[in-house]
Amino acid sequence: MIRPGAGESFVNTRALPGLLLIALAVVAVPLSLAGEATMMHLSAGRLALVGLALGAAGIAWLVLEHHRLVRRSIQESNEKR
């Protein structure tokens, strides 16, 4: 049985900005921890907030893109009928 959404990230490159935002967030979190470890509290706090914002924006992008694909799939299936 083939899942309709399987492999959609390989075919649909419109999700790449969301994936890049999440990748930047993943990099920002260890950098903020390193800033805390080196007593650079102000920079670490700002970097942690930026990382959280980037992660939230990336997840939101992916969710919206997934919903767009689902709507398009439903529309295409209704047109076939």
Confidence of residue 19 (pLDDT cuts 50, 70, 90): very high
Give the residue-averaged pLDDT of 4-8: 63
Give the residue-averaged pLDDT of 42-67: 93
Strands (E), the chain: none
More confident residue, 80 or 35: 35
Q: What share of the chain is helix, strand, coil (3-state, %, to 5)?
A: 85, 0, 15
Q: What mean pLDDT, rounded, does the chain reach?
A: 86
More confident residue, 26 or 15: 26
Whole-model pTM: value is 0.78
